[in-house]
Chain A
Amino acid sequence: MAGSRVRVPANAKRGEVIEIRAMALHPMENGFRFDTQGTLIPVNIIHTFICRYNGDEVFRATLQPGISANPYLSFTTVAQDSGMFEFVWLDDEGGYETAWAKIDVS
């Protein structure tokens, strides 16, 4: 996989609900398309997205073939401690993408 963008607020108050946005560069091949030579392009989608906050899973999504390329996800969580958000995308070809973002909680 080739790239991703994540956005987490740099600062938050403890207990505050924060919005997290994540997007990955991926073709999300649905397995129904043909290439210019008429060969079926095998299905290759991001099947799983996971977000961990200081090691604890706070969000997980299972993606399906109907979802557009470069999937964009937005969700919320509660700010608890300063630390790291870790993002993981897994696709059907065994490819993966990871990203990290820091947050300061006061």
Chain B
Amino acid sequence: MRRLAAIILGVALLAGLALAQQRPIYSIEDRRSGFTFLTPETQALQNDDFSNPGLLWVDRGEQLWQTAPRNGKSCTSCHGDAARSMRGVAARYPAFAAEVGRVINLEQRINLCRGRQELPPLPYETQDLLALTAFVSRQSHGIPIDVNINGPAAQSFANGRAAYEQRRGQLDLSCAQCHEANVGARLRGEVISQGQVNGFPLYRQIWQTTASSHRMFAWCNEAVRAEPFASGSQEYVDLELYAKWRGRGLSIEAPAVRR
């Protein structure tokens, strides 16, 4: 009888473990996903596999993934089933790319690939680039962030960290002053989050559209009355690498829903 109980307990533990592995990690150690700062309604919207508006972009990205452009090859023809080939990719990016000799993010990787097919790059924040990035990122849903910050990426990482701690703009504030020193405090009606980037590209409700992390950086820079950098600039890629590393171990939530 005792043995049976032990077996049942063991099976239950294993089942619990399997379940825990599938469930997204919203907080680990002192790191908290933006998800934990949301109202229950917005959390429910993000986790609804139909009405999460970001999934509109994921669907479109899937179509683009399968459609061959004129005189070109589709993504599928090389990469096959994205669910397998793109699994975990978003958790690793931004990453050093030897062919260009610098750290690049997922959007730039997609455009590099397009360049190899002799297709023009998709400009930043266009629906098609957001859709493809959202679709590729979705394949890593639930996988913990694990970016490489050593070796050739070390300089980029150092620049990103410096930018994160650099005071800027007329308000003379750095990213860290809000997103580290004042987490949980209020900025008018908003609760200040840790500024984690594990959910990008995400659906931002006040913009009513899906947005990249670079648009969010630019928005944040403007909020402290600083001149933003261009989307896709190396400054923002470095910052993205540092921000991603800050959330190491948190699950990729793309497409997340944020206020």
Contact = CB atoms under 8 A, between A and B. Distances in A.
A24 B55 CA distance: 11
Interface of A: 2-5, 7, 21, 23-25, 27-28, 68-70, 72
B94 interface: no
Nearest to B60: A3
A27 to B, nearest CB: 7
A5 B225 CA distance: 39
A20 B50 CA distance: 11
A98 B56 CA distance: 14
A70 B53 contact: yes
B204 to A, nearest CB: 11
A27 B207 CA distance: 10
B59 interface: yes
Contact of B57 (A7, A21, A25, A72): A25
Given A2-B127, A21-B50, A23-B51, A68 B208 contact: yes
A3 B208 contact: no
A5 B50 contact: yes
A33 to B, nearest CB: 11
A21 B51 contact: yes
A4 B209 contact: no
Contacts of A68: 208
B208 A4 contact: no
Contacts of B63: 3
Contacts of A28: 208
